[in-house]
Amino acid sequence: MSNFQKLKVWQRAKDFAIYIYKLTGNHMFTKDFGLRDQIRRAAISIPSNIAEGDELDTDKQSIRFFYIAKGSAAEVLTQAIIASEIGYIDRETFSYIENECRGISGMLMKIIKARAASRIQ
């Protein structure tokens, strides 16, 4: 069994999911169950898929789950754009979320490329 908890991308994604959970507990999001629940599910999906991918037996399977996590990061960013435009979050909060989504996505792309390269060898 691998140790996904040692992956820096998993640690960053887990911390980000916690941040999103805390952020969406504020009064603006509590009124909007749909957006709150969707952004929470997407945020939780990132570290969950990283963990699942890292635990799988083949690089091909792992890469699939890392791409799903990458897609979930894009989903969180999309929901943050909407939250920003409807006034649920301020510009500074949005910038932080955008930076985290892009950073996590970039880290995932590096892992995907590394796993794909190891499949070729």
Residue range 4-120 in CATH 3.90.1310.10: no
Q: Is the pLDDT of residue 1 over 80?
A: no
Mean pLDDT confidence for 42-47:
98
Burial class (CB in 10 A: 0-12, 13-18, 19+), 113: exposed
- Exposure string (b/e) for 60-69, b if CB count within 10 Å is 16 or more? eebbebbebb
What pLDDT digit, counting tens, does each position of 3-31 carry?
Answer: 899 999 999 999 999 999 999 998 888 88
Domain ranges of the chain: 4-120
Q: Is 8 exposed, middle or buried (0-12, 13-18, 19+ CB in 10 A)?
A: exposed
The two structure tokens encoding residue 29:
């999001």
Q: Which of 59, 24, 64 shows the shortest CA–CA distance to 44?
A: 24
Among the residue ranges 9-18, 94-103, 110-119, the one predicted with the least confidence is 110-119
